[in-house]
Amino acid sequence: MPAVSIDGKPWQIDSTKILEKFDFDPISDKELRLVQNAWQSVLQRPRNPLRFFSGFARIQNPEPIPFRRYASHFAFSFICFYMFALINFIKIVIRPKPPVDFGEQFLYWEQVVADSDGPFLDGAGPGTRDMLLFGVVQCHASIPVAALHVLRDDARLDGLRRWIGHMQARFKDHPHLYSGAYFEPALPQPVTANFDQRLIFYFGLLTLFALFPLTLVLVFVLMKRVPR
């Protein structure tokens, strides 16, 4: 989830609003829901807690000042714990039904690719729809889930795989490009955090579990503050 403060203004976490600030065209409510539908496999990420937390621990923090870098990585452990708790809360309380066919979530976008007059969903260059859907692909690739395997292997999604290739070529220098290990053109995986950063992350995580009752209360307080 991105978080951006532009020109000292309040922080924003809504991807669509952030993109509009950078002169990207708005996306329709219908297509926004379809992007969100393609994100459903994210609920599978915490099935293996060890893989979930180790995946986040490997994310490198590029902050050049050591104190800020380590403090940020320590705080990052809470963000990961929050996401772990949030996803499991949704699974236990709301109990959404998983799709019978994960490939169906992407068929609309396969048709959009086929109808486009360029290599991207929005034509000659990436637009809002490209950015949002490619973000979903990176999410699925960072901690592999069922939807990633569907994107790789489903015979119905040849056009979408070509689109992923175009997006990877366009953003090949992005520091958090995870899909390069699964789609052509093959690209190296992001640089991982060093031992010190991982140690700080796990120390933060252990602290959160040691203070579990207080941590859980804080998680639920923050959940209630998130706009619906």
Whole-angstrom distance, CA of residue 27 vs CA of residue 30: 8
What are the tens digits of pLDDT across the range 217-226? Answer: 998 888 887 6
Position 2 confidence tier, pLDDT thresholds 50, 70, 90:
low
What are the tens digits of pLDDT across the range 141-162? Answer: 999 999 999 999 999 999 999 9
Whole-angstrom distance, CA of residue 201 vs CA of residue 55: 11
**pLDDT score for 227:** 60
**pLDDT score for 228:** 55
Helices 146-153 and 128-142, axial angle in degrees (round to 10): 110
**pLDDT score for 34:** 96
What are the tens digits of pLDDT across the range 49-86? Answer: 999 999 999 999 888 898 999 999 899 999 999 999 99
123 beta partners: 120
Tell whether pTM > 0.85. yes
Higher pLDDT, 98 or 204: 204
Determine what percent of the chain is predicted with pLDDT higher than 70: 97
Which is nearest to 42 in space by CA: 176, 183, 147? Answer: 147
Residue 81: what residue type? F
- How would CATH label the architecture of 24-215? Up-down Bundle (1.20)
Higher pLDDT, 224 or 134: 134
What is the pLDDT of the chain when averaged over all its residues? 91
Give domain limits for the chain.
Answer: 24-215
Are 112 and 118 spatial neighbours (Cβ–Cβ below 8 Å)? no
**pLDDT score for 31:** 97
What is the rounded end-to-end Cα distance, in angstroms, of the chain? 15
